Amino acid sequence: MAAPSAIFRWRRRLVLFLLLAVTVMLAIGPAAVRSAPSPSEKMAVRANILDLLANETKLPLPVRQRLHSLTWYYGENGGDLLWIGTGRATDMIARLRAAHDDGLDPSAYPADQLAKLSTVVEDTGERGKAIIELHFSAAFLEYASDLQVGRFLPRKTDPNFFLQEKTIDQSAALARLAGTVGVDDFFVGWQPKTPEYVALREALAEYRAIAQAGGWPSVPLGETLKPGMNDPRVLALRARLAVTDRALAEVPPESEMIYGDDVVAVVMAFQARHGLDIDGIVGRATIVALNVPVEVRVRELIVAMERWRWMPDDLGSHYVIVNIAGFELKRVQQGKIEEEMAVVVGKPYHRTPVFSDAIRYLEINPYWNVPISIALKEELPKLRRNPAARSSAGFEAVQRGQVYPLTAIDWSRYGSGNFPFQLRQRPGPKNALGRVKFMFPNKFNVYLHDTPARSLFVRSTRAFSHGCIRLSRPIDLADQVLDGVPGWNRRRIDSIVASGNRTVVKLVEPLPVHITYLTAWVDSGVANFRTDIYQHDKKLLAALDGRSLAW
């Protein structure tokens, strides 16, 4: 998994290549060796490979970093040559040069150096061939790692990402390549297999093609454009939407400047896939989104692909996935989206963390145990002013199992470092968690739950919570999640909710939940984009460019 910047890696490899080239030329034999070596010649090359791995102290860094796996493949495994005399070398060079197709940076890989090495294969002896073989294998393993698990560890680019670190089985990758005829065939099966990743790769190709064709025209700012208006900017609007949204660029002259129903419908589709208010009105926010350069959209797709590489290889046959940047939850079963709903996520200064876990139980009519940070910063000032008001909102104080009415406590005596109570809110219509919460106990104290603040779900941007994820239709999700739990159905859920009694229901099998952050994805073959509300993309792009940001 790569850590230095692409430029630094390129320079480092150039120096290594120059040293390597000298070594190879010193190893040139008196006669040319055929590109398809005989069994005895292969054995000689393998013997040199093992000697280099065991005894050479000046091997190129990429080889030394993968010494264990290379030694296993060529030694203990008795693996055949992967590059010398196989035809794979040309394909590998081509793959590295086309790394942008995979959302990777071609300049970060030694394609040119490998190409130069390929030109001297015929004129070098077994020692030189061994060095070339190892250099190709090291480059292959680096690309295989970047493609499958990403170029950076998630926490190295952003401390708000708590996904489990992934690595590739390098030995297995080498053995698998040996059993594959073509390099491209290997990488097709090696890259992330989720439909979402595959769709992003296709969208990236589409948007790169748009960029190569010159991008899209801009739409001038001006008066808010409403349906039925006559405005010369409609021409620019049609031209812009014709590139990505299949709008008609050419219409009869008498109506070409009228913002009619046909264009309004396309604008509304554009607004939907960019997370804007879907009203057909072309105001400042819509024009800004229309005028985002295609190169920016390309980078957003690349970042989304990188984030998918960080995700678990197996999301589960039945799982819930939340996209923080998209303010959306999906429940997926056997690869089919069974449920979609709007969610509210954490404010930019109360960010919802990115991690994977599993829902283990539900609480119907839950208590809200107020986190100490919220109790001190938000509730304590209110308690000092009017404890009776907080009591009527359902709050109470608990100390060593004893419940105390809020009006019986002198709150002026307590503060940070001196707060012996657990503040909690009783079940009821005012409870901040609403009627149900979905529990996957974690160190962040984050979960899915209902909310009495229903008006927030109609907004296009929904970052209002302290970090937890509020659901627009929690009872529907509870009904679906409890399907298969003996004795539970929608009627019983509604009955328990109406009773007001706190009830815990354990799932038969934990349900995987993945909390993600994606500002780009593909839905029904159409690319969607969202605002980078937490600046996570900015951090990752800085890392990919070899820069660092203070988080």
pLDDT at residue 31 in the model:
37
Burial class (CB in 10 A: 0-12, 13-18, 19+), 418: exposed
Work out the average pLDDT over 27-55.
76
Work out the average pLDDT over 408-418.
94
Phi, psi of 28 (to 5 degrees): -65, 130
C-alpha–C-alpha distance, residues 217 and 236, integer Å: 7
Locate all alpha helices (DSSP H) within 311-425, ordered by sequence: 372-374, 380-385, 387-392
Instruction: Identify each DSSP E strand in 225-379 by its residue range.
Output: 318-323, 328-333, 336-346, 355-364, 368-369
Return the higher-pLDDT residue of 247 and 49.
49
Work out the average pLDDT over 132-158.
91
pLDDT tier for residue 23 given thresholds of 50, 70 and 90: low
pLDDT tier for residue 6 given thresholds of 50, 70 and 90: very low
Q: What is the pTM of this model?
A: 0.89
pLDDT at residue 336 in the model:
95
For residue 510, what is the enclosing H or E element? strand 503-516
pLDDT at residue 5 in the model:
46
Work out the average pLDDT over 305-313.
94
Tokens of 56: 């050479």
Tokens of 265: 């419908």
With a cut of 70, say whether residue 549 has pLDDT above it. no
pLDDT at residue 181 in the model:
84
pLDDT digits (tens, 9 = 90+) for 252-269: 676 778 999 999 999 999
Mean pLDDT of the residues in the chain: 91
Q: Tally Cβ neighbours within 10 Å of residue 45.
A: 25
With a cut of 50, say whether residue 459 has pLDDT above it. yes
pLDDT digits (tens, 9 = 90+) for 166-203: 899 999 999 999 999 899 999 999 999 899 999 999 99
Long-range contacts of 534-539 (CB under 8 A, 24+ apart): 534/160, 534/324, 534/325, 534/348, 534/351, 535/348, 536/158, 536/160, 536/161, 536/325, 537/299, 537/300, 537/303, 539/157, 539/158
C-alpha–C-alpha distance, residues 85 and 42, integer Å: 9
**Dmax over Cα atoms in the chain, in whole Å?**
98
The rounded percent of the chain whose pLDDT value lies above 70 is 92
pLDDT at residue 544 in the model:
86
Tokens of 391: 């009591």
Q: Closest Cα to residue 230, out of 208, 271, 263?
A: 263
pLDDT at residue 39 in the model:
87
Domain boundary assignment for the chain: 6-191, 314-366+430-518, 367-426
Work out the average pLDDT over 50-67.
93
pLDDT digits (tens, 9 = 90+) for 214-246: 999 999 999 999 999 999 999 999 999 999 998
Residues 6+ apart with CB under 8 A from 358: 440, 510, 511, 512, 513
Tokens of 534: 């937490």
pLDDT tier for residue 502 given thresholds of 50, 70 and 90: very high
pLDDT at residue 220 in the model:
96
Place of tokens 């949204």: 245
pLDDT at residue 249 in the model:
65
Work out the average pLDDT over 443-448.
94
CATH of domain 314-366+430-518: 2.40.440.10
Contact between residue 207 and residue 526 where contact means Cβ atoms under 8 Å apart: no
pLDDT at residue 10 in the model:
44
Dihedral class, residue 168 (left if φ above 0, else alpha if ψ from -120 to 50, else beta): beta
With a cut of 70, say whether residue 30 has pLDDT above it. no
Question: Which range has the worst mean pLDDT, 255-259, 359-363, 388-392, 423-427?
Answer: 255-259
pLDDT tier for residue 36 given thresholds of 50, 70 and 90: confident
